[in-house]
Amino acid sequence: MRCFVALDLPRPVCNYLAGLAQHFGSKGNVKWVPSSQLHLTLVFAGELPAANVEALRTELSTLEIPPLSLRLTGLGHFPPRGEPRVVWAAIGGDVEALAALYEQVAAAGDRQGIEREERGFVPHVTLGRVRSAFGALALIDQLQTVGATLRDKPFAPTGLVLYRSELRPSGPIHTPLLRRPAPAGESP
């Protein structure tokens, strides 16, 4: 089963982020993520046997979720140099508490044989995937321009979710296997 662990975002934040796509027009060949699928991934588990998924689900059900006050701090792309493949929104705010939550989730993943990403945890929301290098330079310029206009309004994630992800030609389908409400973050 293909799975990942994420923080769900409030609907207004998802709608706002999805609406940013209109600022890019034809700059770059990007497949934008629909607002209903935007989230902050903590751990991508990949393919796991059902027993490991259940064990991860059990561990996540007892995890302490700290109150988090997050905010959008800019736009960027992976890889950071060269042709972009992924467009993202950077997350700021309670990043130390967010990193501590990531460590707890990653440790649970370690026990289920999930390998950590080599680049480490970079708090972000994936907004789109670049389909080709056509227009990449214009896309990078527009990311800087639009990123400078982001609303710096704090928000709290709505929950910690273990998702099953099924890849389909029309796009992935994410089904929650465990959803835990997150406590409200404090205003900075």
pLDDT in tens, 69-121: 999 999 999 998 888 999 999 999 999 999 999 999 999 999 999 999 888 89
Higher-confidence position of 132 and 175: 175
Here the tokens at position 13 are 């934040």
Q: Which domains does the chain have, with CATH numbers?
A: 2-181 (3.90.1140.10)
User: What's residue 187's pLDDT?
Assistant: 43
CA-CA distance, 41 to 23, in Å (whole number)?
24
Q: Which residues contact 9 (CB under 8 A, 6 or more apart)?
A: 17, 38, 39, 40, 125, 155, 157, 158
